[in-house]
Structure 1
Amino acid sequence: MKINTLLDVDLVAHEAEDEVALLLELQAPSAPIDATRPRASLEVVLDRSGSMAGGPLEGAKKALVALVRRLEPTDNFGLVAFDDHAQVVVPAGPLTDKDAVIARIQSVLPGGMTDLSAGYLRGLRELRRVAGAGGTVLVVSDGHVNSGVKDPDEFATITARAYADGLVTSTLGYGEGYDETLLSTIARAGSGNHVFAADPDGAGAAIAGEVDGLLDKVVQAVSLTVHMGPSVELVRLYNDLPAELLAPGVLTIELGDLYADEARKVLFKLMVPARTALGLAQVATLEVAYVEVARLVEHVHTIPITVNVVPGDEAAGRVASPTVTSEVLFQEAQDAKKQASEAFERGDVVAGTRLLGETKSRLAEALEVAPQDAVPDIRAQLEEVDQMETYTQIHGASYVSKMSRDSFHRSNRKRGRGTPL
Structure 2
Amino acid sequence: MHSSPAFTFLSIHPEKTAISREGCELDVVLQLNPAPLAPASIQRQPVAIAVVIDRSGSMAGQKLQAACKAAQQLANQLTADDLLTVISFDHQVQMVVPLGAPSELTSSSISQIRAGGQTALFDGWSLGMQTLLQAKEINGYQKRILLLTDGQANVGLRRCSEIAPLVGQAAENGISTSCIGLGDDYEERLLTAMAEAGSGNLVHLTSPQQLEAIFRAELEGLNLTIGRNLQMRVQLAQGVKLKQIYNLIEPSINGWIPLGSIQLGLTPSLAIKLAIEPTMQTEQDLYDLLTVEAKWINMENNEENMRAVLRLPVIENQWWDHQPRDPDVNREVLLQKAAQQRRQAMEGIDQGDILSSSNSIKTALYSLAKEQNTPEIERERQLLDELLELISTDKHSLARKVMGTQLFMRARGKKLRNQDGSDDN
**For residue 377 of structure 2, what is the aligned residue in structure 1?**
378
Query: Structure 2 vs 1, CA of residues 399 and 231 (structure 1 numbering), >3 Å: closer, same or farther?
Result: same
Counterpart check, 1:92 vs 2:99: yes
| TM alignment of 1:63-78, pairs within 5 A | 63-78=70-85
2 CA distance for matches of 1:264 and 1:134? 19
> Which amino acid is 2:83 matched to?
N
Question: 1:192-245: per-residue Cα shift (whole Å, max 9, x none)?
Answer: 111111122112211121111112323333332322223533222222235324
Q: 2:179 aligns with which of 152, 171, 174?
A: 171
2 CA distance for matches of 1:227 and 1:191? 24
Q: 2:134 aligns with which of 93, 104, 129?
A: 129
Query: Structure 2 vs 1, CA of residues 313 and 356 (structure 1 numbering), >3 Å: closer, same or farther?
Result: closer
CA shift for structure 1 position 387: 2.0
Query: Structure 2 vs 1, CA of residues 159 and 274 (structure 1 numbering), >3 Å: closer, same or farther?
Result: farther
Contact kept? 1:227, 1:284, Cα under 8 Å: yes
Contact kept? 1:18, 1:271, Cα under 8 Å: yes
Question: 1:126-181: per-residue Cα shift (whole Å, max 9, x none)?
Answer: 11122457411111010122233333343322222222222211110111111222
Secondary structure in structure 2 of the residue aligned to 1:91: strand
Contact kept? 1:140, 1:172, Cα under 8 Å: yes
2 CA distance for matches of 1:420 and 1:198? 14
**For residue 264 of structure 1, what is the aligned residue in structure 2?**
268
Contact kept? 2:260, 2:412, Cα under 8 Å: no
> Which amino acid is 2:276 matched to?
V
**For residue 326 of structure 1, what is the aligned residue in structure 2?**
331
Normalising by structure 1, report the TM-score.
0.87
Contact kept? 2:30, 2:270, Cα under 8 Å: yes
Counterpart check, 1:354 vs 2:353: no
| TM alignment of 1:96-245, pairs within 5 A | 98-130=103-135, 131-132=138-139, 134-230=142-238, 232-241=240-249, 243-245=251-253
Q: 1:309 aligns with which of 295, 314, 317?
A: 314
Normalising by structure 2, report the TM-score.
0.87
Counterpart check, 1:284 vs 2:283: no
Query: Structure 2 vs 1, CA of residues 312 and 378 (structure 1 numbering), >3 Å: closer, same or farther?
Result: closer
Q: Which runs of 5+ in 2 are unaligned?
A: 1-7
Contact kept? 1:4, 1:24, Cα under 8 Å: yes
**For residue 335 of structure 1, what is the aligned residue in structure 2?**
340
**For residue 257 of structure 2, what is the aligned residue in structure 1?**
253
Secondary structure in structure 1 of the residue aligned to 2:335: helix
CA shift for structure 1 position 2: 4.5
1 CA distance for matches of 2:114 and 2:214? 22
Query: Structure 2 vs 1, CA of residues 233 and 160 (structure 1 numbering), >3 Å: closer, same or farther?
Result: farther
2 CA distance for matches of 1:416 and 1:23? 18
Counterpart check, 1:21 vs 2:27: yes
Question: 1:240-268: per-residue Cα shift (whole Å, max 9, x none)?
Answer: 2353242xxxx322222233322332211
Contact kept? 2:268, 2:412, Cα under 8 Å: no
Contact kept? 2:229, 2:260, Cα under 8 Å: yes
2 CA distance for matches of 1:243 and 1:134? 26
2 CA distance for matches of 1:302 and 1:416? 26
Greater CA drift, 66-75 or 125-134 = 125-134
Question: 1:390-415: per-residue Cα shift (whole Å, max 9, x none)?
Answer: 23355711222222223223333325
Aligned residues: 407
Q: Give the alignment's Cα RMSD to 1 decimal.
A: 2.7
Contact kept? 2:391, 2:399, Cα under 8 Å: yes
Secondary structure in structure 2 of the residue aligned to 1:196: strand
